[in-house]
């Protein structure tokens, strides 16, 4: 009798994500075991409890999913899992805190696609802003875009120090080259967007960050991507299903909306969860693997 597939879902917060649970079930894991309030210093013990209980064949039907909201902690937890493995007792591990890695990967991959298709440009030739850049999706977006070559700025609504501090922290972690800025008022936003090529909007849902008047001050903007699916749009004029549609009142700014991004994010997460059960060797999945998968899907 073949062993049932099991996904252990470790989360440092009080609740596991219903979204992630539904996704894992749709990827044919037979059993999902959620754990809340998991501490980093518990990961070595918990991982070895997972691997030694199933045998060399059973570990191929076993995975670990890491959630939460802190992307740095999620990567630390993933590394702790890797260090606890004892081949051939080794399972796949997927870190995706708050869906930040798969959402950011989908957003950046979609923008990259339109940047090439509409403007024949690469990230290395571009300057990018990430509004909402101090949240999990914003930071992950910034890191991915920076590592892909873009000059990338994390933008906080209130504090430049907060944005700069986070930029420095994640530069140390991942060898990115992020910087930070603040934009509280429209005049701040106008100054920031004047010479950028790309705008990522990952700010709080239901709040418009850039209105039409502010956007009229851009001089070389090429692509915008907005993950906000709760009206109003984070970027004025972006529609839910836009994928390469020209933003209203502009000549050639390609727009990517939240449902288009979400569709790619869903496919990325589904494919990566499925890969935990189908490969011959264990996989360790973070934002880098998610970005590569998003590009493959597109």
pLDDT of 280:
83
Q: Where in the chain is the domain with CATH 3.40.50.720?
A: 103-261
The neighbouring-strand residues paired with 155 are 131, 181
Q: Which of 120, 148, 107, 122 shows the shortest CA–CA distance to 235?
A: 107
- The architecture of the domain spanning 103-261 is 3-Layer(aba) Sandwich (3.40)
User: Tokens standing for 96?
Assistant: 């995706």
pLDDT of 56:
81
Q: Where in the chain is the domain with CATH 3.40.50.10280?
A: 6-99+264-297
Written as tens digits, the pLDDT of the chain (298 aa) is 578 899 999 999 998 888 888 888 888 899 999 999 999 999 999 999 999 998 888 888 999 999 999 999 999 999 999 999 999 999 999 999 999 999 999 999 999 999 999 999 999 999 999 999 999 999 999 999 999 999 999 999 999 999 999 999 999 999 999 999 999 999 999 999 999 999 999 999 999 999 999 999 999 999 999 999 999 999 999 999 999 999 999 989 999 999 999 999 999 999 999 999 988 889 999 999 999 999 999 9
Q: What residues contact residue 30 under an 8 Å CB cut-off, 6+ apart?
A: 4, 5, 6
- Stated pTM of the model: 0.96
d(CA 69, CA 82): 20
- Across the beta sheet with 223-226, the strand order is 179-182, 151-156, 127-131, 198-201, 223-226, 254-256, 243-246
Place of tokens 């915008």: 224
DSSP structure string for the chain:
-PPPPEEEEE-SSSS--HHHHHHHHHTT-SEEEEE-S--GGGHHHHHHHHHHTTHHHHGGGEEEEE-SS-HHHHHHHHHHHHHH-BTTB--EEEE-GGGHHHHHHHHHHHHHHHHHHHH---GGG-EEEEETTTSHHHHHHHHHHHHTT-EEEEEESS-HHHHHHHHHHHHHHH----EEEE--SHHHHHHHHTT-SEEEE---TT---B-HHHHTT-SS--EEEE---SSSPSBTT--TT-EEEEPTT-SS-EEE-HHHHHHHHHHHHHHHHHHHHH-SS--EESHHHHHHHHHHH-
Does the domain at 6-99+264-297 match CATH 3.40.50.10280? Answer given as yes
């Amino acid at each position: 009798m073949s062993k049932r597939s099991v996904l252990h879902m470790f989360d440092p917060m009080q609740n596991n994500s219903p979204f992630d649970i539904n996704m894992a079930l749709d990827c044919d894991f037979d059993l999902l075991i959620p754990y809340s309030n998991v501490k980093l210093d518990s990961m070595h013990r918990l991982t070895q409890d997972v691997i030694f209980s199933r045998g060399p064949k059973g570990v191929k039907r076993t995975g670990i999913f890491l959630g939460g909201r802190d992307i740095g902690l999620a990567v630390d937890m993933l590394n702790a899992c890797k260090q606890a493995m004892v081949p051939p007792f080794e399972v796949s591990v997927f870190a995706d805190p708050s869906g930040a890695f798969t959402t950011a990967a989908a957003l950046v991959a979609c923008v990259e696609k339109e940047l090439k298709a509409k403007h024949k440009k690469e990230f290395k030739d571009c300057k990018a802003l990430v509004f909402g850049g101090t949240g999990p999706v914003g930071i992950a977006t910034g890191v991915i875009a920076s590592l892909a070559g873009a000059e990338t700025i994390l933008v906080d609504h209130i504090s430049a120090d907060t944005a700069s501090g986070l930029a420095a922290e994640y530069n140390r972690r991942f060898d990115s080259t992020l910087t930070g800025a603040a934009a509280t008022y429209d005049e701040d936003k106008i100054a920031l967007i004047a010479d950028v090529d790309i705008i990522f909007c990952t700010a709080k849902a239901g709040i418009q960050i850039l209105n039409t008047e502010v956007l009229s001050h851009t001089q070389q903007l090429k692509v915008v991507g907005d993950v906000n699916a709760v009206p109003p749009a984070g970027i004025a004029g972006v529609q839910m299903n836009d994928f390469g549609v020209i933003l209203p009142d502009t000549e050639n700014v390609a727009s990517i909306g939240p449902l288009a991004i979400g569709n790619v994010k869903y496919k990325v997460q589904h494919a990566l969860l499925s890969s935990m059960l189908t490969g011959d060797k264990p996989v360790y999945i973070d934002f880098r693997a998610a970005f590569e998968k998003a590009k493959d899907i597109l």
